[in-house]
Structure 1
């Protein structure tokens, strides 16, 4: 009996469960079968593996070949199993030694010539190898994968990565053949340069809006910008990531792992806050993720970054409603008949909209011709429950040309970010998380107000008919404003400013 056993990884959402690749050669009519719930891409690997072995000058066994991908109840997709299947055939037929194969895990798609092509999810698989099943970095297996994925996989600092360009190179490594292209362990090539973002100094005027965005960045608050066309809403949103606190190693790794699942991560994006801006024609699946094999959507690709939704009322209402759960929980659970997957979705929402269908309601110069009913219907496209979950609702006024020309140079993103960093550090020291993530119990403990501030907040709640959620969100924004001012107690001025950032679009 000729049998070879190798290890690989599947992908199931953010998880990368271990897959055992068993290759058995038996006497009988030549045949090649793959079992273990393979999808179409895996079934097609039979032709790729056969051609790759023959073009690499190996003998393809004229026997009955059975490949089992265990566990049998876990769906297997993509071409990442080409490399372990090919090596299993070579090991089972005695063409390469198999005494050290159990020290590695393998993943890689083969071309017909035997070259290794990049795969999706290399970072998630590497992280699972080093952390899965209670393993530590000392007893975790090494990971052999295509060279194009090496830098991405090596972001897991304690992983042992062996990149290869071809099947021949992998086989030479196990055969102990000396070669100039011999595989050696790969180390991370991450550069220490600071991430580059568009700068706030490019935006003239809108000092009140910039102040509001500074508060939002300091406390991780969601924002809705409302104003006529051309007032700088999109420009301000695109510069917002540049004033957010710097990413920690763990945040950068989580963000890169999600992007790796969609093959959208490159090394120059390391520690750079994601900025996603889907078009308003995007579907609910595109926004939250899904598919027969669940993939992350825009909210997950924006994990630890910014999700910008321009022309918010133009999105389908059903699409917008799917944001309600992830805005609260920070993750999304996708459930299909055959598969379930969880993806992180701790994004910061920045939305923008015009105040009316024509866009010029409240403009100092252009006259709005929309009827009150048309304005109400337009703004009513955003449901009350979703609007209730957006912390700050800010008016972005149109500036007169004379005022715009008189504006001096604006403050840079770096100067704003320094204040944001200091306020965020106070939050971490006090509660080890951003103010926006405070629970109701923590709000009672950490958001202390003086008598005047408490009275102002109660009056505003009664007059504006706020829900309990809206009340708590205003209080958390006031806590952030107090942190920017470096005061322990929330004062009347902090509450007054927070109330100004909660302007309802419609009269209750």
Structure 2
């Protein structure tokens, strides 16, 4: 037959909508036309497909007018994932393979000039979309991508390493010679994370880190250079419990979009640490086509921003909405993409430009105006969205060497896991994710604790958001203590850990 229809999928954010690849061969002047809002990478498939067919010993219809339509026509298509379905469509339209079973198959894969199948981005997103789809098609992918997609349960999945493998399987119908079924990557042992025992002293900062881990709260360390702010922040991931299956799939799917999926880190919390020169697009996502930013790549993990005031102001302000909503929507003239962004923010900063404000070993050289100007790089609305603000003070060297090692991360992680289990049984989410409508029911604050909090909020001039965030932190303190109700002591600790920046 001169017309063949092959199924594939595009990528718009984490969505993978169905794409129909229609290939028509007609008499006329020889040509190869590709239509359907195809990006440059997709249009270049003409040369890759032509060379792959010839070098694989297959016939390319040089004397035909070839028209390839990627439907729907208004859906943007990008990447090399359409090479394989286009090649299969040409072979089916020219009668070199049977088209009888193509309706029950989906193809995605990039072709080398020799016909080898190369992996594509977003294999997990495509697998998840097919799992949710009412159709029961079998997904055919390159070997590496198929092993990635094999993490999705209940999916018909096959893999191939060369175009000829797929052709041989399609000779007499729908995968008459079945392709191999991929096995998921072996996870192995995850790399060892830094231990909190390495940080000497800083009991208050360690307590704040434990609270942040137990309730998934955002955290800001403020202090002079060399006090251990970065060391503390880098040990947060080691206090967090492993991801469950659905969370691990979401995290891995986003990393797959960026080509950064690592099977060794399956079900472990990602920690992203972008440099302070990162732009707003790098932090929250963007580009054409839209790609996930650092805040999405850290989904269900930790986003560590060291030297926070040194980030561009526009980049920091772009974080405000995703920190509040847990998602980021990137709108462009031709398309809109939404990425999840429910990560845990931990940041570190110096109190002033010279960094010595409040230090006991060296004097600060900054004037009050310089201190205010430096700290003003962080806007009030952004600071309002950070649950815990902790001052990390310098410890004299002679005192530091005499301090005994603290608790190891494993001991603290066990307490964190118990606190999170209480939250899941009670409300089904971490305390930081509680909506305003759930606070009265789930916080369970005693009347004395409520009165104490209202008096503090009035005296300190807090916003409603600040009040709610302190309530959530107090609930986490109660969970760590195993208390059913939030008491005055828990509220007092939450207020103490929401300090203003030093010098203000």
TM-score (structure 2 length as normaliser) = 0.96
Q: Could you tell me which residue of structure 2 aligns to residue 88 of structure 1?
A: 89
Distance in 2 (CA, whole Å) between partners of 1:200 and 1:59 is 63
Please, which of 460, 464, 482 is the counterpart of residue 464 of structure 1?
460
Matched with 1:413 is 409
State whether residues 331 and 342 of structure 1, in contact with CA within 8 Å, keep that contact through their aligned partners in structure 2: yes
Matches within 5 A, 1:308-327: 308-327=304-323
| TM-fit CA distance, 1:378 | 0.6
CA distance, structure 1, for counterparts of residue 435 and residue 89 of structure 2: 52
- Tell me the alpha carbon deviations over residues 327-373 of structure 1, each in whole angstroms, 9 at most, x when there is no partner: 11100011001110000000100011000100011111111111111
Counterpart residue number, 1:341: 337
After TM superposition, give the deviation of residue 193 of structure 1 in Å: 4.5
1:3 aligns with 2:3: yes
CA distance in 2, matches of 1:176, 1:266: 37
Match for residue 127 of structure 1?
128
* 1:355–1:379 Cα contact (<8 Å) kept: yes
SS at match of 2:361: coil
Partner-residue secondary structure (3-state), 1:358: coil
* Aligned-CA RMSD value: 1.6
Alignment of 1:382-393 (within 5 A): 382-393=378-389
* TM-aligned CA deviation for residue 266 of structure 1: 1.6
Query: How far apart are residue 379 of structure 1 and its match?
Result: 0.7
Distance 1:457 1:99 in 2: 70
How far 1:202 sits from its partner (Å)? Answer: 2.0
| Deviation for aligned residue 1:270 | 0.8
Match of 2:73 in 1: 72
CA distance in 2, matches of 1:490, 1:58: 73
Structure 1 residues 36 and 431, CA gap change in structure 2 (3 angstroms): same
Contact 1:227–1:354 (CA<8 Å) still a contact in 2?
yes
User: Which residue is 1:254 aligned to?
Assistant: 250
Q: How does 1:19-98 map to 2 (within 5 A)?
A: 19-61=19-61, 62-98=63-99
The answer to whether residue 239 in structure 2 is matched with residue 243 in structure 1 is yes
- Report deviation, 1:190: 3.8
Conservation of the 8 A alpha-carbon contact between 2:280 and 2:315: yes
Q: Could you say which residue in structure 2 is the equivalent of 1:111?
A: 112
In the alignment, structure 1 segments of 5+ residues that lack a partner are none
Maintained 8 Å contact 1:449/1:489: yes
Say if 2:211 is the partner of 1:215: yes
Give the conservation status (yes or no) of the 8 Å contact 1:151–1:267: no
SS at match of 2:247: helix
1:126 & 1:461 partners in 2: Cα distance?
A: 49
Give a deviation string over 1:364-397, Cα, whole Å, max 9, x none: 1111111111111111110001101100000111
1:503 is aligned to 2:499: yes
Which deviates further from its counterpart, 298-307 or 432-441?
Answer: 432-441
Matches of 1:232 and 1:160, distance apart in 2? 50
CA distance in 1: counterparts of 2:396 and 2:132, whole angstroms = 58
Q: Hey, what's the Cα distance between the residues in 2 that align with 1:376 and 1:342?
A: 36
Q: Is the 8 A contact 1:162 1:184 kept in 2?
A: yes
**Does structure 1 conserve the Cα–Cα contact (< 8 Å) formed by 2:139 and 2:157?**
yes
| Separation of aligned partners in 1, 2:407 and 2:376 | 36
Q: Deviations over 1:20-47 (max 9, x none)?
A: 0111111112111111111111111101
User: Does the 8 Å CA contact 1:376/1:506 hold for their aligned counterparts?
Assistant: no
What number of residue pairs does the alignment pair up?
500
Offset of residue 506 of structure 1: 6.4
Give CA deviations for 1:177-225 in whole Å, capped at 9, x if unaligned: 9xxx972112323436466422212222212211111001111110010
- C-alpha spacing 1:494/1:214, structure 2 compared with 1 (3 Å): same
Shift of 1:472: 1.1
Partner of 2:435 in structure 1? 439
